[in-house]
Structure 1
Amino acid sequence: MYSHLRTAVVAGVVLAATALVPGRPVAADALSEKELRVALLDAVDFPEGWASDSARSARERGFGVPEPTERDCRELFDSAEETKASAGFAKTRSGPFVTTVVAAHEDEAAARRALEGLREATAECGTIHTREGTSGSTTVAYEASTLDVDRLGEESTAVRFNRRAQEGESGDTGVVADLVVARVGAHLVRVAQAGRDDKGTGDVSDIAETAVRKLEDVCEGRSPAPRRDQPGTTDL
């Protein structure tokens, strides 16, 4: 019912001519790869019942957050920047699923351009396709619609993709993939959630708000504090 879970996308911003050194800041005001991992959402940032998700589990399931087959639309869910960190989470083996990526850009101007490129890609990717099933033999389509999310970070954008029902499938409960991208200084953080369009999937803006707040803490030199009511989770 869902597409392959991966934190996958290509950002549409070209890096400066100076080569990046993985694990080091791309600029004085940008976080290093190690710092980005600290700023990244962790399973303990989620309510009880969520767990870390792995690429292996996603392959075995054959569904999760969409990975667009359209080359120009892959940038929606991931970043081409070398200095980045990413993670996946799931509530159950049938969803909902969340992926998140936080990336450091050359500077604030480059991050702003990257976000504008994502807005343009969202406008151009009115329909995306992805492969489902453990063998990837089924291609399904998602169609973009509006997603009302309050501004996060210094600026942000959001979009909802609705999965087009396949022949023979029940259309009682649709499947959606929501994406929120926010900028904090020279960084972009992406949060995507895919699942049934019901109360079990929840509000992606709450997850994105936590992701932005955690990134802001690290950018300001504070260590993010884990949730007191979450003792920890395990991989599904």
Structure 2
Amino acid sequence: MKESPVAEPKKISPALKMSLELGPVLLFFVAYLLLKDRVFTIGGREYEAFILVTAGFIPVILASTIALWRLTGKLSKMQVVTAVLVVVFGGLSVYFNDERFFKMKPTMIYLLFGGALGLGLLRGQSWLQLVMEEAMPLKQEGWMILTRRLCFFFLALAVLNEIIWRGFSTETWVSFKTFGLTIAVFGFFITQAKLFETYAIQDDDTPEA
């Protein structure tokens, strides 16, 4: 009995992919800036702009995640976990009218992924390699080094998010979440260029007869 072939991921333009991934966050940022000084009364209960923008962010992130899945045929584990945590912590913020739940979401995301990578390292494995090997073919030693660095980086971001949302204004946190975290992640991978160069797996030419 023949096995059914595994469907290959569909390719979409990088600009569209980036728009779907970063668009919801930018919309959240713009909506908050436009409404931040307003208070809304709904059903006899007052809601600050942050809560209303959070409520709107939930369906937007779900729509963009579903669109990515339909267009590419797959989702990364981080995309799935992020969407779930947005629904859970965003929903808690709206239900309890308490912005703290949503502000803790990045902390939970980075703790989950940092903890998962750390657990894999304790078992002598790079779980990062399992999800990124096709995108970045590296030697085993390179994967272990990158995984250790990314584990500590995620845990540092979790701590930083706690410091920002607990010690600074909501507007500062929104800016940090929109731009600071994104720049930090891009910056991390840029600084790993030497590692990628050192441990990259080169395509060997077929030996001559």
TM over 0.5: no
Determine which structure has the larger helix proportion and give its number: 2
Query: Normalization by structure 1: what TM-score?
Result: 0.29
Query: Normalization by structure 2: what TM-score?
Result: 0.32
Greater length-normalized contact order (CA 8 Å, ≥ 6 residues apart): 1
> Which of 1 and 2 has greater Rg?
2
Determine which structure has the larger strand proportion and give its number: 1
